Amino acid sequence: MKNRDLLEIIRSEIQAAISRGQKDMPLKALDDYIVGLVALASDDIGGLDEVMLEKYRAKIQTDLTVYSQQESQRLELLRSVSSSAHEAVRSSILINGGAAVALLAFIGHLASIGENELVAGFASPLVGFVSGILAATLAYGFVYFAQLAFYRGSINVGSWLRVVTVVFVLGSLGLFVYGSYSAYRIFLSMGV
C-alpha cells in the first residue's frame, strides 16, 4: 500500500466521523489509529489487510464514542456547577438583602418613636449587610466571566475566576455574620 492510499483511508475515516455528527476527535484516538495502520502497512500493494483495517475502524469508532460520552458528562457537570454557583450567589443576596430590609424597618420604627440616638448605632450592621449584597452581586459577574472563559477554552482563567467567585460569596456570607453580630451586640446594649 502506498502512502497516498494510507492518507486517503485516514481522510475518509475522518470524513465519515464528521458525517456522523462527530465535531471533535481526541488526538490520542487518531494517533492510535494511525499507528495501527502504519504497523499493518508494508511497502508492497496489499500489505494492509482489510480485516485489520476494519478492526482499526471499529476501534476508532469506539474511541470516538467514548470521547463523545466523556464530553457529554463534562458538559453536564459544568451545568451542575454553574447552577450551584448561581444558587449560592442568590442565597447570599437574599440573606443580606432580607437582613438589610429588616434592619431598615427597625431603624425606621426607632426614628418614628423618637429614639434617634439609637439609630446611629445601627450604621455598622447596615453597612455589613449592604456590603454583603455588593460582594454577592460582584460574585454574579465573576460567575458569568468564569463560564465565558470555560466556554472559550481558557481553563486557567476560568479556574481563577471561579476561585474569585467563591471568595466573594464567602466574603458576602462573612459580611452577613458581621452585620448580624453587630446588630446582636447593639440589641444587647439596648436591653432587648
Q: Is 184 found in the same domain as 96?
A: yes
Q: Is 81 found in the same domain as 63?
A: no
In this prediction, residue 2 carries a pLDDT of 62
Helix (H) or strand (E) holding 90: helix 50-112
Please give the average per-residue pLDDT across 29-54, as a whole number. 64
**Window from 5-19, 26-40, 98-112, 134-148 with minimum mean pLDDT:** 26-40
Q: Is 144 found in the same domain as 127?
A: yes
Picking from 47, 69, 91, the residue at the C-terminal end of a domain is 69
Q: Is 86 found in the same domain as 63?
A: no
CA distance 117 to 110: 9
Number of domains in the chain: 2
Name the residue with cell 474569585.
164
Tell me: the pLDDT tens digits for 156-184?
999 999 999 999 999 999 999 999 999 99
Burial environment of residue 108 by CB neighbours within 10 A (0 to 12, 13 to 18, 19 or more): exposed
Q: Is 170 found in the same domain as 147?
A: yes
- For 156, the domain range is 77-190
Amino acid identity at 152: R
Tell me: the pLDDT tens digits for 134-161?
999 999 999 999 989 988 888 899 999 9
What single string gives the DSSP state of each residue in 129-147? Answer: HHHHHHHHHHHHHHHHHHH
Q: Is 48 found in the same domain as 14?
A: yes
Q: Is 96 found in the same domain as 186?
A: yes
Q: Is 91 found in the same domain as 54?
A: no
Q: Is 150 found in the same domain as 92?
A: yes
Residue 125 pLDDT exceeds 80: yes
Provide the pLDDT confidence category of residue 1 given band limits of 50, 70 and 90.
low
Picking from 69, 92, 121, the residue at the C-terminal end of a domain is 69
Q: Is 126 found in the same domain as 45?
A: no
Cell triple for 79: 451545568
